[in-house]
Structures are given as C-alpha cells and as structure tokens.
Amino acid sequence: MKNALTMTAAARPRAGHAATARRRAPPLGALLLTAAALAATAPARAAWAAGADGNHFYYTLGFAGVRASASDCCGTDNRDLGAVALALGWQPIRYLALEATGLAGVLDSTDQGATLKLNSAYLVSVVPMIPLEDFAIYGRVGYSHVTLGASSAFGSASASDHDTAFGVGLQFLQPSAGTRLGGRLEFTRLYNRDALRIDALTISFMQRF
C-alpha cells in the first residue's frame, strides 16, 4: 500500500508545476486577438510586396498647378498656370521606376493685357522610391523640355528650352483594390535657368496594369 501511495503521489503533477504550465500557456482570447491583428494588417503589408519584384506598368492622370516666376532687377513676377498631366511608367523593381510625363496647359494667366500659357512640358525621369507599407515616398530626377507661349494685342510668341527636372512626392496604393489603384501628390521643379523658375504641384490618379 505504501508503495502504491508513493507511486500515485509521484504520478500526480505538483500544484506549482501545474500553475506554471497554466501561466506559460497563452490565453485563447489573446491568440484570437493576435490573429485578428495580423489579418487586419496583412493587406497593408502586402500592398508593396504583391508582385513587387516583378514588372509593373502604370499610368497617372491628374492636374498640375504651375507657377512661373521670372526675376529681374525690379523684383519677381509670378504667374499661376494650370495643366493636365499624364505619365506612363515602368517599375522593374520595388525601389525604382522609369517615367515619361507630358503636361498640356489648360489655364492661362493674364496681366495688363498680356497672357502667359504653358503650352507643353515633357519629362523623362528616374523615380527612386522608399516603400512604407501602402505608401511610398519617391523622388524624381530627369530631363525636361518646356514651351511657354505669350500673347497680347500686339501679337504672340513662344519659346522652348530644356533643363534638369527634379521633385519629390507621396504615393498611395489602395490595398483593397489589389494595389492596382492609387494616387499621388508631387512637387516638381520643371525648369530653373536664366532667372526663370517653373514649378508644378500635381495631384493625380494612378493605376497599375
């Protein structure tokens, strides 16, 4: 009998060990909350990971508010213009894209009978990106060609020139749309030579295909 009691006591788990085992096991509720949190953040984490290492083509279409600033010894003359902006891009890897962009003027600026218009602007640029889940901060550097037109009661004229363009922007991709749809907000310096500076602030819709 003593041997049987000894064997029974040895087989019974000690209370301290059982309590330790219960403390080590995570509650079921905590596991469910953790799983729910991971599921909720999965689309955002996958927004840039989905096909990020493959080839992506995309386009953006939007409106650009353009400011042309001319400086001389008497001060600075600022003209606010408007343009439709269309870009076609190829993103071979997650952190880099190549783009061709075109702007066509739709809003002119008239002062004292003289009208200034952005006839067109073209850019070919490299776009490095820093992905942040479903957002990305990106830069831009490339070649730009800008054509301005001026007219008054005495006639009209236009002039074209090229320069190095650069800019910075914020890109958003909608996870619920499979990262195919999104938008952009970007500041770009299109031209900065011969006392003339042309800047653009562009908001656009984006779609990958």
Q: What is the residue range of 189's domain?
A: 48-208
CATH of the domain at 85: 2.40.160.20
Asked whether residue 12 is domain-assigned, the answer is no
Quick one: pLDDT at residue 25?
Answer: 45
Q: Is the pLDDT of residue 166 over 70?
A: yes
Distance separating alpha carbons of residues 70 and 72, to the nearest angstrom: 7
Write down the mean pLDDT value for the chain.
81
Asked whether residue 146 is domain-assigned, the answer is yes
Asked whether residue 5 is domain-assigned, the answer is no
Distance separating alpha carbons of residues 84 and 119, to the nearest angstrom: 11
Quick one: pLDDT at residue 177?
Answer: 57
24 vs 125: which has the higher pLDDT: 125
Q: Pairing mode, if any, of strands 135-152 and 114-132?
A: antiparallel
Distance separating alpha carbons of residues 101 and 3, to the nearest angstrom: 90
Asked whether residue 80 is domain-assigned, the answer is yes
pLDDT in tens, 120-129: 999 999 999 9
